[in-house]
Amino acid sequence: MTDIRKGKVIVISAPSGCGKSTIINAVRELPGMDLQFSVSATNRDPRPGETDGVSYYFLTDDEFRRRIDAGDFVEYCEVYPGRFYGTLKSEVERTRDDGHDVILDIDVVGGVNVKEMFGDDALSIFIMPPSVDELRRRLESRGTDSEERIAERVGRAEYEIGFAPMYDRVVVNDDLSVAVEETSRVIADFTGRSL
C-alpha cells in the first residue's frame, strides 16, 4: 500500500465584503491547485443563490447546538449576535486523509485558533481591503445584504483588521487579478504544488 500525503490546511480570513470568496473561487480553479473547500455549518438564513451543502450546511439553532454537544466542530464562533458558524471535523479530516489540501473561509477568531491547532500543517492568509470605505462600496454593489447587515459587517471590519498581524501572510485586495496571483503563489509555495 502506498502512503497518501496528508493534505495541508489553508485558512483565509478577511472582513466580509473584501473579496475573499471571489479570490478563493479563482484560486481553486487554477490548474495545479488541489484545494477542496471546507463547507462550514451555520444557523444563519441562506442568501439568494446559496445552496445547502455547497455554500454552508444551513442548520436550525437546535441542530447547531446538537452538533456542538456531539463534538463535531474543529472550532465554532458566534461571528454576529445569535449567528454561529463552525468548521466541521468531518470536512477537514476526510479531505486531508484523501490527500487533498483543504481551504477554510473562516472569521478571525476561528482563523487564529485553527492555525494554532494545525501548526506547521496550516498556512493562514489575511485578505486586507484597500480601505473600509471601499469595503462598504463592495458590500453595497454585491447587493446581497440589507443596509443594517452592511452596517454590522463594516462595523466589525476594524476589529477584524486588528488580527491581521497574527496571520502568516497578508494580501491586499485592491486589484483583483494581483490579489489572486499573490494568493495562489503563496499557497503553491506552501503546499508544494506547481502552478
Choices 63-71, 83-91, 118-126, 131-139 (CB under 6 A): range interacting with ligand 5GP: 83-91
Q: Does 111 bind ligand ADP (CB under 6 A)?
A: no
Extract the C-alpha cell encoding 72: 463535531
Q: How far is the CB of 85 from ligand 5GP (least distance, A)?
A: 3
* Residue 101 contact among ligand 5GP, ligand ADP, none, beta carbon within 5 to 8 Å by kind: none
Question: Is 86 a binder of ligand 5GP (CB under 6 A)?
Answer: yes
| Closer residue to ligand ADP (CB): 30 or 68 | 30
Count of positions on this chain that bind ligand 5GP (CB under 6 A): 14
Instruction: Output phi, psi for 181, to 5 deg.
Output: -60, -45
Rounded (10°) angle between helices 132-142 and 147-161:
150
Which one of ligand 5GP, ligand ADP, none interacts with residue 141, CB within 5 to 8 A by kind? ligand ADP
Residue 60 CB burial class (10 angstroms; 0-12, 13-18, ≥19)? exposed
Residue 166 burial by Cβ neighbours in a 10 Å radius (0-12, 13-18, 19+): middle
Assign 36 to helix, strand or coil: strand
What CA–CA distance (Å, rounded) separates 27 from 86?
23
- Per CB under 6 A, does 146 bind ligand ADP? no
19 touching ligand ADP, by CB under 6 A: yes
